[in-house]
Amino acid sequence: MDTIQLQIKDLSGFLSEEDILKQSAQAAACNQALHNGSREGNDFLGWVDLPSSITDQVLREIEDAATVLRTHCDAVVVVGIGGSYLGARAVIDALSSSFDWLQEKEDRKNPVILYAGNNISEDYLYELMRYLNDKRFGIINISKSGTTTEPAIAFRLLKDQLEEKVGKEEARKRIVAITDASKGALRTLADTEGYKTFVIPDNVGGRYSVLTPVGLLPIAVAGIDIRKLVAGAVEIEKATVPSTSFDYNLPAIYAVIRNELYKRGKKIEILVNYHPKLHFLAEWWKQLYGESEGKENVGIFPAAVDFTTDLHSMGQWIQEGERTIFETVITIGEANEKVQIPHDDKDLDGLNYLEGKRVDEVNKMAELGTRIAHVDGGVPNLTIEIPKLNEKYIGQLIYFFEKACGISGYLLGINPFDQPGVEAYKKNMFALLEKPGFEEATKAIKARL
Burial 126-162 (b: 16+ CB within 10 A, else e): eebbeebeebbbbbbbbbbebebebbbbbbebbbebb
Residue of 150, 260, 269, 291 with catalytic role: 291
Residue of 388, 426, 427, 446 with catalytic role: 426
**332 forms bridges with which residues in the sheet?**
386
291 is catalytic: yes
Give the Cα separation of 385 and 321 in Å (integer). Answer: 27
CB-based contacts of 248: which residues, under 8 Å, 6+ apart? 239
Phi-psi region of 184 (alpha: psi -120 to 50; beta: other; left: phi over 0): left
**89 forms bridges with which residues in the sheet?**
none
Give the Cα separation of 77 and 139 in Å (integer). Answer: 5
Element (H, E) at 385: strand 381-386
Q: Does 197 sit behind a cis peptide bond, omega within 30 degrees of 0 on the bond before it?
A: no
CA distances from 360 to 278, 292, 324, 397 (A): 15, 35, 31, 21
426 is catalytic: yes
User: Across the beta sheet with 381-386, what order do the strands follow?
Assistant: 5-7, 381-386, 325-332, 268-273, 301-306
DSSP state of 322: -
Nearest C-alpha neighbor of 34 from the set 420, 288, 410: 410
Show which residues are catalytic.
291, 426
